[in-house]
Each structure stands twice: as structure tokens, then as C-alpha cells.
């Protein structure tokens, strides 16, 4: 998929789900940091970042009223939300995407290590590694950022979230991925990512990147690795 098409799709998702804009770029930078910490080679890191950028593509096919609903979802609405990985996967295949890193991440990023996730109930090492990585990252970002269904200022602290990830290691998340991400978050200053891509900034004011190279330059500007003060 050409770069302009990738970022056109991201803009469509951002326009539909207001929480997605900053979230997309945060999780992509977290993916880069985690993949590099795990010693994954640079070309594969870039492929994982592409998958992270596109992970919520299926939300294009979910009504905006459901995505932006401030209260609890109905059973039917939740079942619809659970289809967004499949919607995204099918859309990418139709567009000619053939990178298994991207397709696996988009389809399986809500699968749980114990098989209780969706859309296919895949468990353990049958979950592709790229999806195992992203599951932890996605959960971390969801718990440390603003969501329309959450009360104002109800985000958990980073330490609380890391402890919750450890608690759910082996059930929701792959143990080796949790261990690596928690170590990364505690040893490096990743807080700049949330400060730079801030949910409190309106979509019109949010300056979003135009390429993965721009994101990479941003990460380099903030230094990798950097010890937290």
C-alpha cells in the first residue's frame, strides 16, 4: 500500500472516532520503542509501525454514534464494536495489502492470551507475535488516556497501569511481552509521547505526522534510549 493511501485511511478513521487521532500516533511510537527494545530488526520495526497505524481501520465501518457514545454500550453495539478487527482486515485485503505483519496485527490485536478475546478466540502462541505486542501497547494507552466513556480525570497513573498489566500477564497478555514492556516503561522516558500527542488537544489543533519517517525523527529528537529523571 502506498504511503499516501495509508495516511488517507488514517485520516478517515480520525474523522470518525475523535479518540483515535492522538491514540494512533502514541501506539505507533510505543510499538517502535518496544520492538527496538526487543531487538527486532529495523525493516520489521517499520512494518510493525505500519500495522499499528492501521490497527483501527475497521472503525470506518462502525457508526460514529457508537464510537463516540459517552455511556455504556448496549449488547448489540458491543457486538458491532467487536467486529472492527475483521472489518479492518477485510478492507486491507480488498485494497491489496499483503504484509502478514500488518494483516495479523489488525485482525488479532484484541485477542487475549487465554483465548477470551475477539474476534476469533485465538489463544497463547497461536496469536501472532505482532498482535501480542500490540495488545499490551493498546491496553497501556487506553488506560492512561482520555476516553468518552470514562469520567473526567479518571485515567489511572502509569504505575497503576503497569501493575495491572502484570496482574493480567498470562491471561489477557503474553507474559514475555508484558515483562519487556513494563521494563521499558520503567527504564525509559516514554511520557513525552503522551505529552506530544495529547487527547486534550482538538483534532483541528493536533499536528499529526505525514509519514513514519517523521515519527521516527520525532522519537530520535526525544532520544532513544533515555532514562527518566
pTM: 0.87
Q: Which set of grid coordinates corresponds to residue 169?
A: 500477564
- Return the pLDDT at 152: 45
**Which of 14-23, 134-143, 202-211 shows the highest mean pLDDT?**
134-143
- Contact (CB, 8 A) for 170 and 208: no
Across all residues in the chain, what is the average pLDDT?
87
- Return the pLDDT at 52: 96
Q: Which CATH architecture has domain 3-222?
A: Orthogonal Bundle (1.10)
- Return the pLDDT at 150: 45
> Which residue in 119, 131, 122 sits closest to 83, CA to CA?
119
Average pLDDT over residues 149-160: 62
Asked if residue 156 has pLDDT above 70, the reply is no
Amino acid at each position: 500500500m502506498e504511503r499516501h493511501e495509508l495516511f488517507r485511511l488514517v485520516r478517515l478513521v480520525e474523522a470518525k472516532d475523535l479518540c483515535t487521532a492522538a491514540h494512533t500516533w502514541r501506539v505507533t511510537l510505543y510499538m517502535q520503542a518496544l520492538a527496538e527494545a526487543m531487538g527486532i530488526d529495523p525493516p520489521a520495526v517499520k512494518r510493525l509501525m505500519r500495522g499499528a497505524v492501521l490497527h483501527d481501520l475497521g472503525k470506518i465501518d462502525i457508526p460514529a454514534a457508537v464510537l463516540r457514545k459517552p455511556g455504556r454500550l448496549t449488547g448489540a453495539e458491543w457486538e458491532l464494536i467487536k467486529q472492527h478487527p475483521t472489518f479492518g482486515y477485510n478492507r486491507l485485503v480488498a485494497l491489496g495489502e499483503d504484509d502478514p505483519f500488518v494483516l495479523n496485527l489488525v485482525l488479532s490485536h484484541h485477542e487475549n492470551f487465554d483465548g477470551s478475546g475477539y474476534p476469533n478466540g485465538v489463544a497463547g502462541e497461536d496469536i501472532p507475535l505482532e498482535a501480542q505486542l500490540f495488545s499490551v501497547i493498546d491496553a497501556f494507552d487506553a488506560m492512561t488516556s482520555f476516553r468518552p466513556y470514562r469520567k473526567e480525570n479518571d485515567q489511572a497513573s502509569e504505575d497503576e497501569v503497569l501493575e495491572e498489566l502484570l496482574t493480567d500477564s498470562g491471561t489477557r497478555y503474553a507474559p514475555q511481552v508484558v515483562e519487556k514492556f513494563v521494563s521499558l516503561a520503567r527504564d525509559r522516558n516514554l511520557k513525552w509521547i503522551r505529552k506530544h500527542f495529547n487527547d486534550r488537544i482538538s483534532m483541528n489543533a493536533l499536528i499529526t505526522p505525514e509519514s513514519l519517517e517523521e515519527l521516527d525523527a520525532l522519537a530520535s529528537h526525544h532520544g532513544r534510549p533515555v532514562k527518566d529523571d
